[in-house]
Structures are given as structure tokens and as C-alpha cells.
Amino acid sequence: MAEIVYRSVKGTDLTPAEVDNNFHNVDDRATQLRTDVDLKAAAALLAQPDGIATLNNLSKVIQTALNSDKLDNKTFAQIAALFIAAVAKGAADGVAELDGSSKLKASQIPDSLTTGLTYKGGWDAGSNTPAIPGAAGGNKGWFYVVTTAGATSIDGINVWAIGDWIISNGSAWEKIPATQLVLSVAGHTGDVTLAISDIVLLQDALDAKKDINAESVDSAESDFHNLTTPGDFYLNEIGAMSNRPGGEAGAALITVKKYAANITQLLTVVASGNVYSNSSNGAWTGWKQLN
């Protein structure tokens, strides 16, 4: 490779041959320089874990610079918008990052996408097994399904039926009922048996329906089995009558119906509110309590 010819005295012209020599010399040296840089850069980058990616990115930057005509008349802000700043990665109002599996990092996924329901198993509401922890942000979305009904009080709720859900909203436990159960009847819960007195104004309504023209059976009548005439009757006192329902006394209403040889009696005792039926087709079956 020839040496570059130059003049030590400013203003002295080079000969055409010297100028030509210098141009060729500069071109050769530039070619050699590019070759040396490429080899050394590639070797250094390939030695790094992310060498290929970095080399590819570097090539893209160089290519963008070479295509400078695309950047003509662009402001600095417009040019900067073509790139992602390193400080923007994983930052607020920046860009999300990918993990080693090319998926979004868990720390950068919105809570709205990760907060859901977590089934924790069955719950015995009678013995509180497993014990329900205090509601907190860490157990938001946890839920149990009631497998044994009970009355364990959790955040003010103490009626639990099989199939109900108990679920944490992060600050309190709530119930999602399996069915809309009747919680009580006339103030009673459990296996309910009602009396007339349990239902407000029911006695007044029954009294209002009494037929004041109904035949009144004299207390001298001693046997229910003699009441076979169809109709509605008001009995002043049944305590001394034969074949009455065991233990009953006081006033009562009785309705007698007759179909050929079949006789049916429907008796309502005012004091106790109990309702009975009795029937005969030649022989009385005996009183059966209906409530």
C-alpha cells in the first residue's frame, strides 16, 4: 500500500499522479479499517451472553443512520420517538419487559388480570374446620364451600347451609347462598310446628268467620260420634264429651260432611289451635292431628 503524499508547505499543489495515489490510498485504508472493526466488534460481541442480540441491534442502529434520508427534516423529539429509552423499561408510563420465557414479567402484569377466585376446599360451618382466617388483602378471592351446615359467626354471619360459599373480599368475609332459604316461620326456626297464636290476627280472623247461626250443641251431648248431621257447628265446651281428641277442652268449631255412608268431621279447638279430622264408614277411624 503506497504512502500518502503531502506537502509540508501550505499552498503547494500536488501533481495529478499524487492526488490519484492519495485517493486510492485513503480508499484502501478505509476498507481495511472497516474490515478490522467488523472482525473485532463481532468477536467481542459474540463473547458476551447477549452478543448476537446486541450485534443485531447495533446493525439496526447503523442501518438507520445509513438511511439518513429518512430522518431528513425530523426534530430531535421525533427521532427520539423512534427508539425506546433504557430508563423506560419497566417504569411507570414506560414499556413492559419480557422474562426469559418471552412472557410479561409477573411484577408488571396488572392486578385486574391476576386477581381472581381461589378455591380453598370445603368448610365445616359447625366446627369452623378449617379455621377461617381474618379477611386481608393476601386472601382476597379465597373461597370455601360449606360441606356441613352450622352457626359459626364469621364477620357477623352465622347461618350457613350446605353449598353456601364463604368468600373474602379482602376486608371481610361474605356469603353467597346456595339457595334462598326460609330462615324462620312466624319467629320459629328448625322443624316448625305452628299454633294459631303464632300467627298474628289469625284467631280474630277465625272468630270473624264463625257462623253465628250454626247449630249450638248442648253440653248435654256427650259423644262426638253422635255429630253426624252435615253442617258447621260451634261447640261451647268439649272437655266433657266422649271420643274427643285427648286432652282437649273448651270451645271448638266442627264441620261435618256426609257422602252416603261416609261421614267426615273437621275439628278446630279454639284454645290450643289444634286441628283434627275423624271419619267413619261404619266405624270411626279416630282423630288425626293435622297441624
Q: Give the integer Cα–Cα distance in Å for 233 and 288.
A: 19
pLDDT at 137 exceeding the cut of 60 = yes
Cβ atoms of residues 248 and 269 within 8 Å: yes
- Structure confidence at residue 165 (pLDDT): 94
- Structure confidence at residue 169 (pLDDT): 92
Q: Give the integer Cα–Cα distance in Å for 54 and 57.
A: 5
pLDDT at 55 exceeding the cut of 90 = no
C-alpha pair distances (Å), 204 with each of 134, 193, 211, 231: 51, 20, 14, 22
pLDDT at 175 exceeding the cut of 90 = yes
Q: Which grid cell sits at 86?
A: 433504557
Q: Give the integer Cα–Cα distance in Å for 37 and 29.
A: 12
Q: Closest by alpha carbon to 138, among 110, 109, 118, 166?
A: 118
pLDDT at 145 exceeding the cut of 80 = yes
Give the whole-number percent of the chain exceeding pLDDT 70. Answer: 63
Q: Give long-range contacts, CB 8 A cutoff, 24+ apart: 119-128.
A: 119/143, 119/145, 120/144, 121/145, 122/146, 122/147, 123/147, 123/148, 123/166, 124/148, 124/150, 125/149, 125/150, 125/151, 125/152, 125/160, 125/164, 125/166, 126/150, 126/151, 126/152, 127/152, 128/152
- Structure confidence at residue 79 (pLDDT): 64
pLDDT at 32 exceeding the cut of 90 = no
> What is the tens place of the pLDDT at every residue in 12-24?
666 777 766 666 6
- Structure confidence at residue 219 (pLDDT): 47
pLDDT at 43 exceeding the cut of 70 = no
pLDDT level of residue 108 (50, 70, 90 thresholds)? confident
User: What totals of helices (H) and strands (E) does the chain contain, helices first?
Assistant: 5, 10
Q: At what angle do helices 16-46 and 51-66 cross, to 10 degrees?
A: 150
> What is the tens place of the pLDDT at every residue in 64-93?
554 555 555 666 666 666 677 777 788 888
> What is the tens place of the pLDDT at every residue in 109-125?
776 566 678 899 999 99
Averaged pLDDT for residues 236-256: 87
Beta sheet of 231-235, edge-to-edge order:
215-217, 231-235, 252-259, 262-269, 275-280, 288-289
Cβ atoms of residues 215 and 226 within 8 Å: no
- Structure confidence at residue 52 (pLDDT): 47
Q: Closest by alpha carbon to 278, among 260, 261, 256?
A: 256
Q: Return the beta strands (E) in 49-157 as ranges.
A: 118-124, 142-148
> Who has greater pLDDT, 101 or 219?
101
Q: Give the integer Cα–Cα distance in Å for 255 and 278.
A: 11
Give me the count of residues in the chain: 291
- Structure confidence at residue 270 (pLDDT): 87
pLDDT at 46 exceeding the cut of 60 = no
pTM score, two decimals?
Answer: 0.32
- Provide the β-strand partners of residue 146: 123
Exposure string of 104-117, with b = 16+ CB inside 10 Å and e = fewer, is: eeeeeeeeeeeeee
- Structure confidence at residue 133 (pLDDT): 95
> What is the tens place of the pLDDT at every residue in 277-289?
999 988 999 999 9
Averaged pLDDT for residues 151-164: 93
Return the residue matching grid coordinates 373480599. Answer: 169
pLDDT level of residue 60 (50, 70, 90 thresholds)? low
Q: Give the integer Cα–Cα distance in Å for 4 and 21.
A: 7
- Structure confidence at residue 51 (pLDDT): 45
Parse the chain into domains and list their residue ranges: 51-80, 118-176, 196-289
